[in-house]
Structure 1
Amino acid sequence: MGRGDLTNAEWDRLESFLPRGGARGGRWSDHRRVINGVLYRVRTGVQWRDLPERFGPWETVYKPHRRWSADGTWAILLSRVQAAEDTEGRIDWDVSVDSTAVRAHQHAAGARKAPPRSSSKGGRHRDEPGRSGAAEAGRPAGGGGQIGECLRRSRGGFTTKIHLVTEGRCRPLALVLTPGHYGDGPQLARVLEQVSVPRAGVGRPRTRPDRLLADKAYTSRQNRRYLRRRGIQHIIPERLDQQRNRQNRGSRGGRPTGFDSELYKKRNTVERAINRLKGFRAVATRYEKRAYIYLGTVTLTALTIWLRT
């Protein structure tokens, strides 16, 4: 077993959740070798063709990863591991939300544009990133263009942004990709709607956390109304300009927003989760041209964090 490969204990946890065969190629001879090969590449950031020989031909590692990224298998495995943890009561539902910008390598540019898919009414498909500008975990990206592939120039250069929700033990619950120039606040509802942890028995998946912690980037009235409508207690500091505006309006400005400075200290969990994600070089720098493959890479990294925590 090489450094960074799945241990026997981690493999035993994951094996029962794996699909039993491929869509076209039949059953794979060795799931563990394939997954270890993908993990090696994600951890080191090497080119696929430079994978060590112990993983076999590089195509036998890359193609399953691309297929599993496209059909949402990585996201399904992540949800199953989360469900097992929730059944045993090992998820802290005081969640935090934040984002991080990822610099795109020059090899990530130049993806060919695909023709827009048409809906039954003749418009673009609603789930197409070319329309929404984002790719969500479990929803493979389609379409083309730089916005459709979640790439755009920002102050940091040619970047992609990862929006994530993490539980209280620094493990990602949900992920969303957007172009690098997108703001954090408008993506709050989108990323929270990706939180869905299945129940062990009968019942709907759990989608509502006990408490949400976020920084001032998420302090808009729209976000607070959204959280109140869903019944989610939130701890978000108010910006100084918002405080002055509310005070200047007198009684029409409404009551001050509740804020607990002690509970807010727990928001560091999302920062620590981002550090864990970016410890994998293929996450810290985006090499993939296609957004759905990069999302699969980030999702696999999150799955690894869950298995090893």
Structure 2
Amino acid sequence: MRRHELTDREWELLAPLLPRAVTGRPRVEDRRVVNGMVYKIRAGVSWRDLPERYGPWKTVYTRFRRYALDGVFTRALQQIQARADAAGDIDWLVQIDSTIVRAHQHAAATGRKGGSPLDEPDDHALGRSRGGLTTKIHLACDGRGRPLAVLLTAGQRHDDVCARPLLERLRVPRIGRGRPRCRPDHVIADKAYASRGFRAYLRKRGIGHTILEKRDQKRHRRNRGNRGGRPPRFDREIYRQRNVVERCFNRLKGFRGIATRYDKTATSYEAAVSLASLLLWARSV
């Protein structure tokens, strides 16, 4: 095993989750190709600069793109989460947050005149913010700092607007019969998610939450006196665990291909984030 490649244990977990070709001519070994994908997102190199030991770079890229369009890594991630949930290994004290990722000039060269594929956003999750052309990764992780759901948007999108779509992506299938689990026990978030609408959404779904209140909200409530109502419940001890999601982002950005976006399409970049998340889960179960 070389640096940035899958261990035997990780491959034993991932191999059954990947699609197998049943017809056609013999193709390059799956483990060799997946190791090339992992090396690419770990080192942040271009596809053409992949070492020759992973085979033709076009083969690695073509299979990665096929997996991205088919949602292979997302389904594999859900299956590993399902196994962990069946073993009682998921802490449903969920934390949500977002991080900004700078887009490289190669990602910024996406052609937009011809339109986008059906599942591709028109802006390819690229937008202008203070850091220039950026993408924002919205993340929900469990109490042990492992990704549960990911949402990509343009860098200028506000966190609160994306909170509901992010939680609606949280979907952990059951082993055997039963509906997938979509509701956490508790949600921890910073004051960017402190809107009344999001709090009402969580209460409607019966989800407990610990969200820091903004200063202007406190001032407005106090100025209204008795009509301002009670302050939202806030448990300081629970809120101290919010650093778990920051550590999760730190581990994801250990992959140089995640810390800087080189992929032109949002589908490919989201597949890279899902593959990195898959490796974090494989190394923790």
TM-score (norm 2): 0.96
Partner of 1:65: 64
Partner of 2:32: 33
Partner of 1:2: 2
Q: Partners in 2 of 1:40 and 1:179 — Cα distance? A: 26
Q: Secondary structure at the match of 2:239?
A: helix
* Uncovered stretches (5+) of structure 2, i.e. residues with no partner: none
Q: Secondary structure at the match of 1:96?
A: strand
Structure 1 consecutive aligned stretches of length 4 or more whose deviation exceeds 3 Å: 24-29, 114-117
* Uncovered stretches (5+) of structure 1, i.e. residues with no partner: 118-126, 129-140
Residue 113 of structure 1: how far off its partner (Å): 2.0
Equivalent pair of 2:78/2:172 in contact (CA under 8 Å): yes
Q: Secondary structure at the match of 1:289?
A: coil
Q: Partners in 1 of 2:164 and 2:190 — Cα distance? A: 15
Residue 110 of structure 1: how far off its partner (Å): 2.2
TM-score (norm 1): 0.88
Q: Partners in 1 of 2:279 and 2:251 — Cα distance? A: 10
Q: Partners in 2 of 1:25 and 1:170 — Cα distance? A: 41
Match of 1:281 among 231, 239, 256: 256
Closer, same or farther: CA 111–186 of 1 in aligned 2, 3 Å: same
Residue 47 of structure 1: how far off its partner (Å): 1.0
Match of 2:134 among 129, 153, 159: 159
Q: Partners in 2 of 1:305 and 1:28 — Cα distance? A: 28
Residue 142 of structure 1: how far off its partner (Å): 2.0
Q: Secondary structure at the match of 2:17?
A: coil
Match of 1:270 among 245, 259, 262: 245
Q: Partners in 1 of 2:267 and 2:139 — Cα distance? A: 16
Q: Given residue 2 of structure 1, which amino acid in structure 2 is its aligned partner?
A: R
1:258-278 CA distances to partner (integer Å, 9 max, x unpaired)? Answer: 000001011111000000010
Equivalent pair of 1:116/1:143 in contact (CA under 8 Å): no
Matched, 1:142 2:142: no
Closer, same or farther: CA 246–213 of 1 in aligned 2, 3 Å: same
RMSD of aligned Cα (Å): 1.7
Equivalent pair of 1:115/1:143 in contact (CA under 8 Å): no
Partner of 1:123: none
Equivalent pair of 1:175/1:194 in contact (CA under 8 Å): yes
Q: Given residue 17 of structure 1, which amino acid in structure 2 is its aligned partner?
A: L
1:76-109 CA distances to partner (integer Å, 9 max, x unpaired)? Answer: 0110111111111111100100000000001111
